[in-house]
Amino acid sequence: MDINYVPTICPYCSCGCGMYLVIRDGMIIGQEPWKEHPVNEGANCPKGKNAYQYIYSEDRLKMPLVRKNGAFQEVSWGEALDLIVTQLREATPEDFGFIASCRNSNEDAYVMQKFTRVVMGTNSVEYCGRLCHSPAAAALIPAMGSGAMQTSQPEIELADCIFVAGVNLQETFPLIARRVSRAKAKGAKVIYTDPRNTATARYLADIHLQLKSGTDAALINAMMSIILAEGLENKDFIASRAAGFDELRNFLSKVDLKQAEEITGVPLEKMREAAITYAKAERGCILYDQGISQHYVGTDNVRDHANLALLCGHAGKPGSGINSMRGQINGEGSGDMGCLCVFYPGFKRVGEETAKFFEEAWGVANLPTKPGLTYIDMLYKCPYLYIVGGDPMMAVPDVNNVKKALEKANFLVVQDIFPTEIAKLAHVVLPAATWVEREATHTWIDRRVQKVNRVVEPPGETKPDWWIICQLAEKMGYKDKFDFASAGEIFEEIRSCVPQYKGITYDRLENKVGGIHWPCPSEDHPGTPTMFLQKFNTPDGLGHFQVVEFKPPAEVPDDQYPYVLTTGRSIFHYHTGAMTRRTPRLVDEVPRGFVQVNPEDASKEGVKDRDTVVLETRRGSIEAEARITDEVRPGLLFIPIHFPDSCANALTISALDPSAKCAETKVCAVKIEVKR
């Protein structure tokens, strides 16, 4: 009996670790380390080690389903697609919205946005990056010219100060935590901001700034004010590579450090230590994630971290910069491919000029020139919705309200690998192939494009996402614009109209373990691990300071809801949990949702460890198992986001960032009581 070891890349977080899958008789029976892979050098976290198990889950979708008389019935592809076409022909451009996912490949995402723009005539196409990292583009394009990660993963080890901001690195990016740990072994200092005393605080941080939730801008302003008072700003860098310093300096001169101490709850001496440590570093590297961005002031928070980097000259060098840690496999690529209502592929901003460019590139006329609806707006406003690979019923704040809106939708198509929570509301459910059942590229956290190949046959009638969309486009009368026979043909079209990908080919990717970092302008270009070495990508080539005034969270505790609720991830689960909750080994570790409660608060509320408690906010209530721990400070409760039975987003608030339209899922007011 032959056993084959086939190399592939982990389907979960955006590190992009390599692994070998062990194949026998056409089935994956195990996973082995890929020691030569430069991202992970043989190591994988628990999710990666068990990455293939879910594809054999019994409830895998294998046939198209159409709702008839209130119940789903299996139908042929022809019947399902014909029904969708009939319905979509009823939709005006204003009626229709397409929601893609960070889990789609580049080729899938590219075809989805092209379908939305060319066939449906609207820019209302988004992906779940809107819910977590849209502040990166909103803040960093004006500040530096790109919202992408600025240094590569291996280069993090070059930094001598790593500022880990709002990301529990040990659990959410374990292989990047290993890089930080290696840098630390060489003498680097690690500063960490998080309201929780997480594993990252305990094992990685030298300076843990345990700030109150939602007070990041007050902290950063205070740190910058200390840096200026100490004369530690990088004067040469500011003079040669930045603009807007005088406005920032004037603003910071008014910062009251005592008030900052009260707002943040961080002792002034700790702020001072962190500020001086970061400012004095040769290479300071900011790694930030949702703890910074998932606020109604997320864009402001990112702007302020960019200010800090520019102030100290920590950008444009390997192992430096301000780096947004996109959490999911194709968090970078789905945005690069244009699944955003304000950007066509290559982050070309929606408008007349961009529409003209793509009309020529695609051989079409009348492409939409106005921004479409954002992710959350679509859920409330579009009567015709097409959702692929994501689960808004888990991922979007205030889901009880979202559900009411979706129940009124004229027509909802869900395309996925499992019957997710959103699929339960759909009119048609289409079965998609998983990452090992088709060929594709993804773009991982550090703009690293890698290719994955088909390892096993797709089960039943499952199909690659791009194939399904192309079939629909053909039936809608656009065969010649979507006449792709393979993912490789789609990638060739991507290369022709996304300049960052121009020099990357399937052949090059097949032969380059670890992939190629965009921008890669030509086929003989090695790729770009570090951004902005000579200049920033702004029109004048300079980094731009943007003054940020601190604003408190949208909802603060009161007598009725006396605690702060925050949300996050577990190392054993991934995002909405659709894959990891179907992975027995991971479910053994963390089988259900829970809430972390500080011992002081537990005693006040009469909660004992493992009690079932009821959590209630102004949006809804859930039950969860109490875990009493000093990982959370008094007054703070934490729940993970992966479990539908304890759905965090039934509680969260949809206060939106005015620039990025990202919601404040990291802070709201909540009460807790033992279930009677």
Residues that bind ligand SF4 (CB under 6 A): 10, 12-13, 15-17, 40, 44-45, 47-48, 174-175
- 517: which strand partners? 448
- 392 cis-preceded (ω within 30 degrees of 0): no
431-to-77, 121, 388, 652 alpha-carbon distances in Å: 10, 26, 10, 30
| Closer residue to ligand SF4 in complex, CB, 96/444 | 444
Q: Tell me how far apart the alpha carbons of residues 299 and 644 are, in angstroms, rounded to a whole number.
A: 29
| Closer residue to ligand SF4 in complex, CB, 13/161 | 13
Three-state SS for 418?
A: coil
Smallest distance from the beta carbon of 17 to ligand SF4, in angstroms? 3
Smallest distance from the beta carbon of 415 to ligand SF4, in angstroms? 23
Strands 96-99 and 384-388, how do they pair? parallel
> Which amino acid is it at 473?
A
| Closer residue to ligand SF4 in complex, CB, 45/653 | 45
| Closer residue to ligand SF4 in complex, CB, 40/213 | 40
Residue 640 zone, left/alpha/beta (φ > 0; ψ -120 to 50; rest) = beta
Contact 625, 640 (CB under 8 A): no
| Closer residue to ligand SF4 in complex, CB, 124/170 | 170
Smallest distance from the beta carbon of 488 to ligand SF4, in angstroms? 24
Q: Which two tokens stand for residue 362?
A: 């695609």
Smallest distance from the beta carbon of 44 to ligand SF4, in angstroms? 4
Residue (of 437, 395, 432) closest to 414 by Cα position? 432
630-to-602, 611, 633 alpha-carbon distances in Å: 11, 17, 6
Smallest distance from the beta carbon of 392 to ligand SF4, in angstroms? 23
Phi then psi for residue 343, to 5 deg, are -135, 130
| Closer residue to ligand SF4 in complex, CB, 18/335 | 18
| Closer residue to ligand SF4 in complex, CB, 173/478 | 173
Contact 642, 574 (CB under 8 A): yes
Q: Which residue in the block uniquely carries the two structure tokens 């950008």?
A: 315
| Closer residue to ligand SF4 in complex, CB, 31/471 | 31
Smallest distance from the beta carbon of 329 to ligand SF4, in angstroms? 8
Strands 125-126 and 96-99, how do they pair? parallel
| Closer residue to ligand SF4 in complex, CB, 307/580 | 580
| Closer residue to ligand SF4 in complex, CB, 498/579 | 579
Residue with the shortest CB distance to ligand SF4: 48
Smallest distance from the beta carbon of 385 to ligand SF4, in angstroms? 29
Smallest distance from the beta carbon of 13 to ligand SF4, in angstroms? 3
Three-state SS for 32?
A: strand
Smallest distance from the beta carbon of 42 to ligand SF4, in angstroms? 11
The strand ranges marked E within 229-334 are 242-243, 284-288, 321-324
Helix (H) or strand (E) holding 82: helix 77-88
| Closer residue to ligand SF4 in complex, CB, 13/509 | 13
Smallest distance from the beta carbon of 33 to ligand SF4, in angstroms? 10
> Which amino acid is it at 518?
W
Largest CA distance in the chain: 74
Contact 255, 227 (CB under 8 A): no
Q: Tell me how far apart the alpha carbons of residues 205 and 523 are, in angstroms, rounded to a whole number.
A: 41
Q: Which two tokens stand for residue 265?
A: 């709850």
Smallest distance from the beta carbon of 15 to ligand SF4, in angstroms? 4
